[in-house]
A and B are shown apart, each in its own frame.
Chain A
Amino acid sequence: MLFALLVHGGPGGVASSLAALRFAETLLAEGHAISRVFFHGDGAAHGNAMLVTPPTETDLPARWQSLARQHGVELLACVGSATRRGVLDAREAARQGLPVSSLREGFELAGLGQLVDAALRCDRLVSFGG
């Protein structure tokens, strides 16, 4: 079955965000496919390259990156949510006159149209933290 995931919660010790990652890892282990993970609201902070997870906690952004590398899962952070939280790719940073990009490798910024597209193409859209 083809899944798309929507993550509303932030990466810092939010139970629903950990559940989203574990759900995704289990789906792939069980032979399902994930087309796209859309990070919205506080979830967009998963794409922050400057975020450092304490060693006692699960490094959610790193685990998502590894999932994306191994399985070709698309990681999209909502551009509106991301910029509000200081997560900008090089293009957005230049547009805002800011000196550096802060988007984590493996993540892309995208508009909500990409969420609409994923929701209409997948068999199941599952939300976490909404």
Chain B
Amino acid sequence: MQASRRVLVICRNSAGAGTRAREALDIALAFGAFDQPVSLLFSGDGVWNLVAGQSGEATRSMERLLGALPDYGIEPLLADAESLAVRGILTEQLLPGCRLLDRDAVASLVDANELFFSA
């Protein structure tokens, strides 16, 4: 396999809305499993995945999966601060290991990566 490419995966959907959130995470995990540097950003409705202690089959399973990400070298969980604010989600509701990014920080993150996936 060739040299590493810096990968940004953007999760834009909540786990309760179908399989797309899970599919975004699967892509992140696959690159992580092959030792590629992966950043994972939650944006739009994707930020709902970061709220701790939700009920529901899909959301509980997502919370377990998010807990396993550090094993694949994927940390912290990056959250678009504007998406959180628009939805009234407070920092204290979030899972441990989240880092909030403002608009400029999101732009810098995009600049710093080479391969992009969004789901």
Q: List chain A positions with a Cβ less than 8 A from chain B.
A: 6, 8, 40-41, 80-81, 84, 111-113, 115-117, 119-121, 125, 127, 130
Given contacts A41-B19, A121-B2, contact A116 B36 (CB under 8 A): yes
* B23 proximal to A (CB < 8 A): yes
Query: Please, how many angstroms separate the alpha-carbon atoms of A119 and B19 in the complex?
Result: 22
Q: Determine chain B's interface SS by DSSP, over half rule.
A: mixed
Interface of A is mostly: helix
- Which of B71-79, B95-103, B110-118 contacts the other chain? B110-118
Measured CA separation A80–B30 after assembly (Å): 12
A113 to B118, CA, bound (A): 17
In the complex, are the beta carbons of B1 and A117 less than 8 A apart?
Answer: yes
Min CB distance, B44 to chain A, in Å?
Answer: 13
Option from A40, A120, A121 in Cβ contact (under 8 Å) with B27: A40
